[in-house]
Amino acid sequence: VFVYTSFISKLCKDSDMQKASTIFNEMTASGILPDSFAYTTMIDGYCKVRKISKALQYLGRMLKDGMEPSVATYTTLINSNCRIGDMEVAQRLLEKMIGKGLLPDIVAYNTIINGYKNKGDLQKAYELLDMMKSFGVSPDIVTYNTIIHGLVMKGYVAEANDMLDELIRRGFSPDVVTFSTIIGGYSNKGQFAEAFLMWCQMSDCNVRPDVITCSALISGFCRAHRIDEARALFQKMQGFGLNPDLILYNTLIHGFCRSGYMEEAYHLITLMIEDGIVPD
RNA sequence: AAGAGUUGGUAUCACG
């Protein structure tokens, strides 16, 4: 079950549910009984490719095998509903698991907080934050990152910055996601001085930028038609050993087109192909 | 360097 499930898990992450289900069937055919992990992997895989009926089919098989959904199984289902924006169902699932005597863990809470955040309902996100604390579950850096992103999405980047200070005061270590989120927020608003300060604070914390950090900044530069700076950072990051990916190329190509640099945009396509990245 | 679930970057019709 161990090796099968790890293999299936990788296939699910590649959204290759065709192959994943083949392997799953192969496993059961060889007499190996799927456990809770195996089922949850399949359920999550199908949820992520929006084949909910397939996912429920596996959930049904799991129940028929006499297994109770685990906290992770519930979290998968909650997340699936969060993605389609159905927070009523997500909330009901959370209550249902509690009713069954399962205690939602940090991941479960983070998932539903993220769901409310994506709906723009920071009020509810904060309520869930209180709820988790009252159940004795402490927020972690993911929780903070989620709320910081919620603030950024609403344009409250200064408040997001305050939240960063607060989390540090409480003894948490901001990570590359924290900084990328805030840098992206400033960058999108054209507040590049603030974005730069954040970049410096990130270095002070010994957190290294990654491709996403750079993309967030480059995206802002492009939006503001500051193509020289976009280009400069694009060069510089490769000096750091960071390799541009598909999204970054798309960002730059779009930015160059928008600012009228059509030849250069076109040139990027050949460049990305040389990098082994297939344009989408 | 190993089996499951949560957070950050681009684009996309219509509506607004």
A263 CA, B10 C1': separation in Å?
A: 19
ipTM of the complex: 0.84
How far is CA A14 from its chain centroid? 15
CB of A111 within 7 Å of some strand B atom: yes
Q: Given this model, what pLDDT does residue A226 score?
A: 95
**Chain A residues 221-240, Cβ below 7 A from strand B:** none
CB of A159 within 7 Å of some strand B atom: no
Q: Given this model, what pLDDT does residue A96 score?
A: 95
SS3 labels along chain A: CHHHHHHHHHHHHCCCHHHHHHHHHHHHHCCCCCCHHHHHHHHHHHHHCCCHHHHHHHHHHHHHCCCCCCHHHHHHHHHHHHHCCCHHHHHHHHHHHHHCCCCCCHHHHHHHHHHHHHCCCHHHHHHHHHHHHHCCCCCCHHHHHHHHHHHHHCCCHHHHHHHHHHHHHCCCCCCHHHHHHHHHHHHHCCCHHHHHHHHHHHHHCCCCCCHHHHHHHHHHHHHCCCHHHHHHHHHHHHHCCCCCCHHHHHHHHHHHHHCCCHHHHHHHHHHHHHCCCCCC
CB of A75 within 7 Å of some strand B atom: yes
pLDDT category, A129, cuts 50, 70, 90? Answer: very high
As a whole number, mean pLDDT of residues A111-129 equals 96
- Over chain A, what is the mean pLDDT? 95
Q: Given this model, what pLDDT does residue A26 score?
A: 95
Tell me how crowded residue A115 is: count the other CB atoms within 10 A of its CB.
27
Q: Given this model, what pLDDT does residue A17 score?
A: 94
Tell me how crowded residue A2 is: count the other CB atoms within 10 A of its CB.
10
Q: Given this model, what pLDDT does residue A273 score?
A: 93
Cα separation of A117 and A111, whole Å? 10
The predicted-structure confidence for A72-104, as pLDDT tens digits, reads as follows 999 999 999 999 999 999 999 999 999 999 999
CB of A105 within 7 Å of some strand B atom: yes
CB of A20 within 7 Å of some strand B atom: no
**pTM (two decimals):** 0.93
Q: Given this model, what pLDDT does residue A87 score?
A: 95
The predicted-structure confidence for A40-65, as pLDDT tens digits, reads as follows 999 999 999 999 999 999 999 999 99
Helix axes A211-223 and A176-188, enclosed angle (nearest 10): 0
CB of A187 within 7 Å of some strand B atom: no
Cα separation of A224 and A230, whole Å? 10
- A154: Cβ contacts below 8 Å, ≥ 6 apart: A120, A122
Tokens of A53: 């009926």
As a whole number, mean pLDDT of residues A112-134 equals 96
Q: Say which nucleotide is closest to residue A218, CA to C1' distance.
A: B9
pLDDT category, A117, cuts 50, 70, 90? Answer: very high
As a whole number, mean pLDDT of residues A168-191 equals 96
Cα separation of A235 and A158, whole Å? 29
Cα separation of A96 and A87, whole Å? 14
CB of A122 within 7 Å of some strand B atom: no
The predicted-structure confidence for A218-250, as pLDDT tens digits, reads as follows 999 999 999 999 999 999 999 999 999 999 999
Nearest to A51 by CA among A27, A19, A25, A18: A18
- Neighbour-count burial of A185, counting CB atoms closer than 10 A to its CB (0-12 exposed, 13-18 middle, 19+ buried): buried
Q: Say which nucleotide is closest to residue A211, CA to C1' distance.
A: B9
A48 CA, B16 C1': separation in Å?
A: 29
CB of A188 within 7 Å of some strand B atom: yes
CA Rg value for chain A: 22
